[in-house]
Amino acid sequence: MLYTETKSFEEIEKLIKQEESIFLLGCGGCAEVCKTADEETIAEIEAKIKETGKSISGKLIVDFMCSKHLLIKRLARYQELLDGCSAILVFSCGIGVQCAGAVSDRAVYPATNTISLGGFQGLWPGEERCAQCGTCYLGITGGICPITFCAKELLNGACGGAKDGKCEIKTERECGWVLIYERLKKIGKLELLKEIQQPRDFRKIEPDAKLRKTIHFDIDR
Ligand code: SF4
Ligand code: SF4
């Protein structure tokens, strides 16, 4: 299970500022358990979005968004509503947001941050990975994680070392930032790359202090 927290509405509003019509997509798996994708939370965000003058083209909660095959099947039934939206706001962990981006031709934005509880969290059927960084950046990268797809975990574009689309560090893998550029180009969102991202807050990748397994040595004994 991956643990999520809902982003502040100010953050969500900033992410979707260029969009007119939003489809709300929630995960009935882990995110439902964390109360970040339950009907009440989604309805609350829906009401706030409507207050800003934007429209909601539809909403859906899918069991386990981390299965792309299941997601494709479920979304197919809502194709008309999806065609009517300019973007999808996703209430799930980072894996679910990445899966939504991979199976849709719409911009995807995370409504949550996936945070670390420490330890081993689970397995997913696809190649998407989430490092539970605590500040989900998928809204500015077309739904491709810059932390797990880039060997240097860069936030402001490619390092310049990629060759023929391959990473200079992990040469067997595609360069994550080439993938991000191609995805943003495909969905017409290259302007997102113009905003400079501030350095990460690495305190957010630490599990909550109460949950850390720290051994205390009494040095006076
Ligand atoms: S940016 Fe990547 S590592 Fe961070 S929460 Fe999103 S998917 Fe997970
Ligand atoms: S080549 Fe691409 S994936 Fe590899 S470190 Fe540089 S930007 Fe990141």
Tens digits of residue pLDDT in 65-104: 998 999 999 999 999 999 999 999 999 999 999 999 999 9
Given this model, what pLDDT does residue 221 score? 43
Say how many residues make up the chain: 221
Q: What is the pTM of this model?
A: 0.90
Burial degree of 154 (CB within 10 A; 0-12, 13-18, 19+): middle
Distance 116 CA to ligand 1 centre (A): 10
Q: Does any ligand 1 atom lie closer than 6 A to the CB of residue 130?
A: yes
Q: Name which residue sits closest to atom 6 of ligand 1, judged by CA.
A: 136
Which ligand has the shortest distance to the CA of 94? 1
Chain centroid to Cα 143, Å, comes to 6
**Residue ranges of the chain with pLDDT lower than 50?**
221
Q: Does any ligand 1 atom lie closer than 6 A to the CB of residue 133?
A: yes
Residue ranges and CATH numbers for the domains of the chain are: 1-141 (3.40.50), 149-194 (no CATH)
How many whole angstroms separate alpha carbon 89 and alpha carbon 200? 23
Q: Does any ligand 1 atom lie closer than 6 A to the CB of residue 6?
A: no
Q: Residue 137 contacts by C-beta under 8 Å, 6 or more apart in sequence?
A: 145, 146, 147, 155, 197
